[in-house]
Amino acid sequence: MKWKIACIQFDIAFGNPEANKEKICELVKEASKENPDIIVLPELWSTGYDLERLDKIADAGAFVTTKLLKSIAKEHNVHIVGGSIAKKTNKGIYNTMLTVDNKGQVVGEYSKLHLFRLMDEHLFLQPGKTDGLFELDGETCAGLICYDIRFPEWIRAHTTTKKAKAIFIVAEWPLARVDHWRTLLIARAIENQCYVIACNRSGADPKNVFAGHSMIIDPWGDILSEAGEEASILTATIDLTKVDEVRSRIPIFEDRRPQYY
């Protein structure tokens, strides 16, 4: 299975869902000119980190966002790994990734498991309780959100037991720790022998400057494509048969001895 991937790295309008939805429609249309199979959006792309106002601007039940993603997926005949949005529920607000296939069907929903206290997420958001697994074209994938990449033992569960071949990571990762971003992403690809597709945002908000540097990395840890700090649409083609090849050449999953860990 080969997929052409497009990651949309853009400067999110702080606390302005309407402006961001309009921008996403424009950028998806632009990205679709390259005929990608999958388009990936960044974390909290509709609101940014306007956490203090999420109670007013979060998407109740994610109904508006779901309708939008279904529409653009069908219109452009593309799978959408929909970054994440603030989903308001009667239990609180969640940082939720929605994945929609090219037929307009929701095939995955994952709420951020690990909340990042340095940006006060724990004060405004509820932690998720499920894994990030979903299927596209019959292939098992995982979707993770930003801080999740610092928890390798959890990610490993997606690739050993569940056999995910591609990990999609969406983020608002700050420029101050861009070296961590790059190193962790490459490490996650190498240790899990899978593709890592990471879509970060660009630009700044009132408190942070963000790193950009969206990346697409193969199972050997080689960078297939990397953006800079500015807004851009990053593309690369991945071949999932390479995952099987790498896992057979260095059979780390077979050689694990978890009973001693």
Instruction: Write down the pLDDT at residue 64.
Output: 97
Q: What is the pTM of this model?
A: 0.96
Q: Is the dihedral of CA 88, 90, 95, 101 positive or negative?
A: negative
- Residue 162: the pLDDT is 80
Active-site choice (21, 87, 112, 165):
112
pLDDT digits (tens, 9 = 90+) for 153-203: 999 999 997 899 999 999 999 999 999 999 999 999 999 999 999 999 999
What pLDDT score does 161 carry?
79
Provide the pLDDT confidence category of residue 250 given band limits of 50, 70 and 90.
very high
Question: Cβ(47)–Cβ(58) under 8 Å?
Answer: yes
| Alpha-carbon span 65 to 138, nearest angstrom | 25
Architecture (CATH level 2) of domain 2-260: 4-Layer Sandwich (3.60)
Which residue intervals of the chain are DSSP H helices? 17-31, 54-57, 63-76, 121-124, 152-159, 178-192, 241-249, 252-255
What whole-number distance in Å separates Cα of residue 153 and Cα of residue 209? 29
* Domain boundaries defined on the chain: 2-260
DSSP strands (E only) in 41-82: 59-60, 79-81
Task: Name the CA radius of gyration of the chain, rounded.
Answer: 17
pLDDT of 71 over the 90 cut: yes
pLDDT in tens, 118-158: 999 999 999 999 999 999 999 999 999 999 999 999 999 99
Among 146, 172, 194, 199, the active-site one is: 146
In terms of DSSP bridges, do strands 106-111 and 85-89 run parallel, antiparallel, or are they unpaired? unpaired
Res. 261 pLDDT band, cuts 50 70 90 = confident
The percentage of the chain sitting over the pLDDT mark of 90, rounded to a whole number, equals 97
Count helices and strands in the chain by DSSP H and E runs: 8, 14
**Does the active-site annotation cover 112?**
yes
- Report the DSSP pairing between strands 166-170 and 195-199: parallel
Once rounded to an integer, what is the mean pLDDT over residues 212-237? 98
What φ, ψ does residue 256 adopt, rounded to 5°?
-65, 150
Neighbours of 258 (CB within 10 A): 7
146 carries an active-site annotation: yes
CB-neighbour burial class of residue 192 (10 A; exposed 0-12, middle 13-18, buried 19+): buried
Percent of the chain residues topping a pLDDT of 70: 100
Compute CA distances 39 → 17, 58, 90, 199, whole Å.
Answer: 19, 23, 30, 10
Active site residue 43: yes
* Residue-level pLDDT at 15: 97
Sign of CA dihedral 108, 25, 84, 33: positive
What was the pLDDT predicted at 169?
A: 98
52-64 pLDDT per residue, tens: 999 999 999 999 9
- Is 115 within 8 Å of 123 (Cβ atoms)? no
* Per-residue tokens: 225: 């494509």
* The pLDDT of residue 140: 97
Selection from 80, 121, 127, 130 nearest residue 103 by Cα: 80
Q: What are phi and psi of 20, to 5 degrees?
A: -70, -35
Mean pLDDT of 26-50: 97
Does 101 score more than 90 pLDDT?
A: yes
Which residue is listed with tokens 């800079």?
228
Q: What is the DSSP letter of 164?
A: -
pLDDT for residue 125: 98
Query: What pLDDT score was predicted for residue 245?
Result: 96
Say how far apart CA 147 and CA 169 lie, in whole Å. 10
